[in-house]
Every structure is written in structure tokens, then in C-alpha cells.
Chain A
């Protein structure tokens, strides 16, 4: 089943991120010079000012940093109660997402999760959205 979602930010670099997602791959920009991983996509490395990146596969392993539950509707596509989680990727970046197959209620920080993809669509068409499920 395809879920309707609020619009993504699209454009150069953003399109590349979503194109990998659509292949079921979770890749982020990594600087060719200093190795810093950037998220969200950026035109230039803010560590060393290089503009040469490789889209590096992330392991998909992460831990829960924090979360909240919206009880007021902000988007018609996201009816309350709507849970958002911030996870810390094994590689370092913090990634805003949603839980899949579990509720955040009572979850401890550091709870291990792993990336999976949800079939979604917005005004620009169908896409795969990275979300997180509990790791075994």
C-alpha cells in the first residue's frame, strides 16, 4: 500500500538521495577529501570546502536519540497521533524519521533500530521513504 506524504525537497543532490532510496539503498554524501558524511545533501563539504563527494552506502544500523508524538494535525497526510523519531546512524549523522512496526512509547535512548523503506508518494510521484524498525 502506498502512503501519501508531504512533499520532499527536490533538486540537485536531493534527487540523487531519493534515486538511491528508490532502489532500496540508503546512501549519504561522503567527502572525498576529509571523509565527513553530510546530511541533508549539500553542495560543499563544510569541514574542508571540497565539492567532491561519493554517495556512500550506510549500514542502516542506528540507535534512538529522541522522539515526539504529534497530537495536533500539522499535515493532512500525517494524522495524529503521529510519531517522529530522531535516530543516530552508526556512521554519525542524526536522521529524522518515523518508526515502523513499533510505537515510541516508553522506548529508551540507544534502542537499536535499522533502516527499511516505505512505499510513498507526493506531488512529484511515487518514492521510497527511509524509516526505522526495531533491530533484532
Chain B
């Protein structure tokens, strides 16, 4: 079972104390199409490096915020970069610095800013995973050192993330009768969103029929259920709310939540037996009461999507629908822009860029700033955005709201 810490009064004191004031990213498309004749860059080319990608993203985020690097006094570093080297390359003498993925970094930074350890935190990520030919399955998965729970099962031929999540979806099929056609709505919707995003790598729309005709990688998963492997960098800047300079509409961090399920994780019990629901429920009890909103109030939603099925499970776990109803819930355009709950509106990791939780944050911020107003990409009147991070041994969530 997941630990449940419910401290609404303490959480509420942090609500809206910190805001996102700047966002930026590298040129996903240009870097991806850097192969001969505009083809995809070769894996293992070594052409790009993570620090350079992070630096590009940071410069853009600083410009967006109207800040300079000397305004930064805290740093969160994501991807395969060291904190020491990142601070050196970016020329930042931080007073506070940690490593982590985007939501862990956001939650840590909210705490540090409220504790008075820093005022203005740059969260930066760079990952030249395609240039470095990083493997996420097989003998060299994540270094091949047994970092990931399932690497133990090599003698049975099972060591890939896709294997794990396709088994999780298969289990959902066996328990609830969910179909592949139903799941296909996720990758079709995210690709449609990517087609509206100039910085998305995969823009060509496809239909459910195309999805069903695409090859299996790990059945029941088709090719389109898998995320991309590409190089890129993302940065965003969060600041004590009362210090924001007003260049951009501040996007408040209004809710945070975190819960893990690590017992029996090598047996894969939390995902393949429990669908991670106890952790989802624990996070729900933090993030929604803190923000003062519930799933019905969320205007724009994003979930970690290394695989399509993450969306199905997080919508069920966070109460957008009941467990088992996800397959039917995501039909008929409900998760598309213009639908009831637009999800991963940049195209996500399936179609925009595989930035491992980082690319979702600038997209939610821009939607809440109404930066796409008047375009087909706009989620009209969006005031509340939610990110759910549900992967490996953790579930975290962040709720953003439009400030004034």
C-alpha cells in the first residue's frame, strides 16, 4: 500500500506562493532532422551533448521571463547531467541545487523557496539520448546494471519498459475487457495535437485504422503506443510569487502531491496487480484539496506518456472516470483539444518530444497564459492545468492555475 500523508493545512500554506515565470526548449525538430537529407539523426552519432541542449533551453526561458542568469539563485538539474558541471557550464553560482525529474524538482523548489533558501529557481534538463544511443530495453537497458526493477528477468527475455507497460495494459484488457481500438484513441489524439505544434517531431496525423494496422512492438502495444527517442533540452523558471516582475502572466503552483509504492516492485506488483491505484488515490488526497479544485475543474491535463497507456491509468486513478471505465472514457474526442478534458496538448512524449516529464510543463504554462489564443491549439479559457507523473516507483502531481 502507498503511504498516505494528509496534511491539508500545511500544504495549503504553500498554495500560490511560487509561480512559473519563464519557459523554453531546444529545437526538437531541427535537432531530430539533422541527418543527411533531413532524415532522422542517426542513433549514437554523438553529434549533440546534453549540456548544450540544456543551455539553449535556459537562454530561451530567461528571455521569456525577462531575467538574466544572475537572477538565478537555485537550480534543479534533470537528465544525465551532474549538478556541479551544469552550474559551471551555465555560469550559475547557485545557493541551492538538486537533481531530479521535473515534478520532483518543482516540489523540491517550492519547499526551498518557502524555506528561504533561494528565490528564483531554474529547472533545466538536457538529454542527448539519441546521439548517445541510450537503450531502454535489452542487455544495455539503462546501463544494464539492474537499476530498473525488471532487469532481473533477463533469463526469461523480459527487460523492457514496453514489456512492462504492455503487460499492464493486457491485464486491464483481461480484467475489464478494454480493447486495442479503445487504447488507440490516445496516440491518435496526441498526434493530432502534435500536428498543430511547430516544434513537435511527429506531425503526420493517423487514424484508428492506421493505428490498428501498425506493427506490434510488444503485443498488445503497437508502434504508436511508444514514445520517441530524440535529443532535446527544456528549462523553466519558478520564482517566489511576490517577486515576479510581471513580464509574463505568472502561472501559480497551486497544488502538489507525491506518493510511492516500492514494496514488491521487482515482482511488478504495484503496476501489474494494483494498477498503481493506491498511490494515485494518496496523491489525489493531497493535490486536489490543496489547490481547492477537483478533476471536474481541470481544463487542461498532461500525463507522463512514455507509453499511451499511462493516460488511461492516470485518468482512472485521479477520478476522471472509475477504474475500468478508461477505455470507454477516452473515446469520441473527449481527450482532444475542444473536448471535455484535453490531454497532452503539445503531442506529449509520444509525438512532440521524449523529454521525460519536462516538455509537459511549458505546454501547460503556455495554455494557462492563453498564449495560443486564436489558434486551433488553444484550450479556450483554460484556468486550471494538471500534470500527473506516474512512472517507475512513484506518482506525483502538480496543479497550475492562471494568476492575475
A residues near B, CB below 8 A? 5-9, 39-40, 46, 65-72, 74-75, 77-78, 81-82, 84, 86, 88, 93-98, 108-109, 120, 122, 129, 131
Are A84 and B156 in touch, CB under 8 angstroms? yes
Q: Is residue B272 contacting chain A, with contact meaning CB distance below 8 A?
A: yes
* Residue interface bits B218-233, CB-to-A below 8 A is 1, else 0: 1111000000000000
A54 to B163, CA, bound (A): 32
Are B273 and A6 in touch, CB under 8 angstroms? no
Q: How far is the CB of A8 from chain B (nearest CB, A)?
A: 5
Q: How far is the CB of A18 from chain B (nearest CB, A)?
A: 9
Q: How far is the CB of A70 from chain B (nearest CB, A)?
A: 5
Are B157 and A78 in touch, CB under 8 angstroms? yes
A70 to B220, CA, bound (A): 9
Q: How far is the CB of A75 from chain B (nearest CB, A)?
A: 6
B residues near A, CB below 8 A? 137-139, 146, 150, 152-160, 163, 166-168, 170-171, 174-175, 215-221, 263-264, 266-269, 272-273
**Which of B150, B168, B216 meets A96, CB within 8 Å?**
B150
A97 to B223, CA, bound (A): 24
Given A68-B167, A68-B170, A109-B175, also A129-B216 (CB < 8 A): no
Q: How far is the CB of B202 from chain A (nearest CB, A)?
A: 19
Main secondary structure of the interface of B (DSSP, over half): mixed
Are A94 and B273 in touch, CB under 8 angstroms? yes
Are A120 and B155 in touch, CB under 8 angstroms? yes
Residues of B within 8 A of A120 (CB): 155
Residues of A within 8 A of B266 (CB): 39-40
Are B218 and A72 in touch, CB under 8 angstroms? yes
Residues of A within 8 A of B156 (CB): 5, 84, 96-98, 129, 131
Given A75-B138, A86-B272, A109-B175, also A8-B267 (CB < 8 A): no
A86 to B150, CA, bound (A): 12
Q: Which residue of A lies closest to B137 (CB)?
A: A74
Are A8 and B174 in touch, CB under 8 angstroms? no
Are B170 and A71 in touch, CB under 8 angstroms? no
24 A-B pairs with CB atoms under 8 Å apart are A5-B154, A5-B157, A7-B155, A8-B154, A9-B146, A9-B152, A39-B266, A65-B273, A66-B167, A66-B168, A68-B166, A68-B220, A72-B217, A74-B157, A74-B159, A74-B163, A75-B139, A75-B154, A86-B272, A94-B264, A96-B150, A96-B156, A96-B268, A129-B155
A7 to B167, CA, bound (A): 22
Q: How far is the CB of A34 from chain B (nearest CB, A)?
A: 14
Residues of A within 8 A of B160 (CB): 70, 74
Residues of B within 8 A of A39 (CB): 266-267
